[in-house]
Amino acid sequence: MRGRMSGWRKFEEGGDPRSLRDAFGSFATGVTVVTCRDADGTPHGLTANSFTSLSLDPPLLIVCLAKVTTSAGPLTESERFAVNVLRTEQRPASITFSTPAGDRFGKTRWEEGLGGAPLLTGSLAMFECARHAVHDGGDHWILVGRVERARFEEGPDPLLYFRGRYRRLHFDD
C-alpha cells in the first residue's frame, strides 16, 4: 500500500503554512479553468480547484481566487464568468492556465459564452455564471456565481488533483 500508515504531520496556527497547504492537499478535487472577458474584450482565466457547488435554488457555485493572481481582479469585476470543468485529456490546459508565461488563450481552443467568457473546447462541464457576490476570504476572494447556463458530458473522465499532482479515476464500477 502506498503512503505512510502512521506518523501524522501537523499544523498549528502560526506554524509553517506549507504544512497547512499540504493538509488541505489531502482533499482530492477536480480541476477547473475559470474565465471571463474584461471591459476591453481581453479574456482572462486561471486554473482553480477551489470550485464548489453551493446551492440548487437559487443555482449557485463558488470559486476561491488568490488575491495575488492577475486574474482575480478581472474575475471579481466582471458581470459574467465561466467555470470549465476539465477532463483527463485537458491536463495541458490546466498547466497552461496555471503557468505565468505565454498567451493562454492562444494555446487553447475555446468559444465565447455569455458575456464573452471563454468556454474551453472539450470541457467535461461548463457553467456560465453571473456574478452573485464577492466575499473576503483571507488571502483569497470567494467568488459566488449564479448559474445561468450549464452543460456537461456524461461519458468522459475528469482530471483530478491530489497532493500536488494530477490524477485519474481508478474505479470503473
Ligand X SMILES: Cc1cc2nc3c(=O)[nH]c(=O)nc-3n(C[C@H](O)[C@H](O)[C@H](O)COP(=O)(O)O)c2cc1C
Residue the block writes with cell 476591453: 40
Query: Does residue 71 touch ligand X according to CB under 6 A?
Result: yes
Of the ranges 19-27, 81-89, 93-101, 111-119, which one interacts with ligand X (CB under 6 A)? Answer: 93-101
Query: Does residue 83 touch ligand X according to CB under 6 A?
Result: no
Query: Does residue 161 touch ligand X according to CB under 6 A?
Result: yes
Q: How far is the CB of 89 from ligand X (least distance, A)?
A: 15
16/3 Cα distance (integer angstroms): 22
Q: How far is the CB of 149 from ligand X (least distance, A)?
A: 22
SS3 139: coil
Work out which of 35, 36, 37, 47 binds ligand X, going by CB under 6 A: 47
Query: Does residue 117 touch ligand X according to CB under 6 A?
Result: no
Residue the block writes with cell 453571473: 130
Query: Does residue 100 touch ligand X according to CB under 6 A?
Result: yes
Of the ranges 8-16, 60-68, 117-125, 126-134, which one interacts with ligand X (CB under 6 A)? Answer: 60-68
Q: Which of 47, 125, 154, 128 has its CA nearest to residue 91?
A: 47
Cα dist. 1→4, 55, 163 in Å? Answer: 9, 38, 16
107/156 Cα distance (integer angstroms): 22
